[in-house]
Amino acid sequence: MSPLIGFGLVAGFLLASAVMVVRSDNLVHSVLWLSVVLVLTAVVFILLGATFLGGIQIILYTGGVITLMLFGIMLTGKQDTVEIPNPSEGHLAGAGAALAFLVPTLSAIWATDFGPDKGLPPVTAKHIGTAVLGPHLVAFEALSVLLLAAMIGAIVLARRSDPGEGR
């Protein structure tokens, strides 16, 4: 029973934080709530026995979220106060989109027979490593090519047209 209570607390707090990401008035608060959501997602992974995934989740997303925060501040123009407005518009359309996602997801979950709890062995770093470098090698390499292309694109965009200028 107690694992269920723990999961309930984490999941409840996770959902509440996710709502706060959308509902918060201040952009910085929104992004900080997003970081809470991502850390709690890592906790859910750990509760499910995927400890490696949980650790990687925290390591990768902290850098990502903090970068997002910097973009949020740099792209919102000149700010004289700590309040960066983050207004929510189109509540009705948003609710419609959420419902359109919720109904099929819930019906799929209800329709699935998960069967009895088989008590899966925990997935370790070793399992993930052999899976990534074995059967899924092509996808793994394709991903790294994609990231390389994104990085070259970023460098090209950020490059000055005349290297001698401005130094």
Q: How far, CA to CA in Å, does 29 sit from each of 11, 63, 111, 135, 166? A: 20, 17, 38, 42, 36
Which residues in the 53-72 window bind another protein by CB under 8 A?
54-56, 58-59, 62-63, 66-67, 69-70
Q: 144 — phi, psi (to 5°)?
A: -70, -35
Asked if 14 and 44 count as a contact pair (C-beta separation under 8 A), the reply is yes
Q: How far apart are CA 17 and CA 31, in angstroms?
A: 11
Chain Cα centroid distance, residue 64: 9
Q: Counting contacts by CB under 8 A, is residue 21 touching another protein? A: no
Q: 88 or 124: whose CB is closer to another protein? A: 124
Q: Counting contacts by CB under 8 A, is residue 20 touching another protein? A: no
Q: How far is the CB of 134 from another protein (least distance, A)?
A: 16
Asked if 123 and 53 count as a contact pair (C-beta separation under 8 A), the reply is yes
Pick one of 39, 44, 48, 128: the residue that binds another protein (CB under 8 A): 39
Q: How far is the CB of 74 from another protein (least distance, A)?
A: 10
Pick one of 12, 124, 140, 142: the residue that binds another protein (CB under 8 A): 124
In the complex, which residues of this chain contact another protein (CB under 8 A)?
26, 28-29, 32, 35, 39, 42, 51-52, 54-56, 58-59, 62-63, 66-67, 69-70, 73, 81-83, 124-125
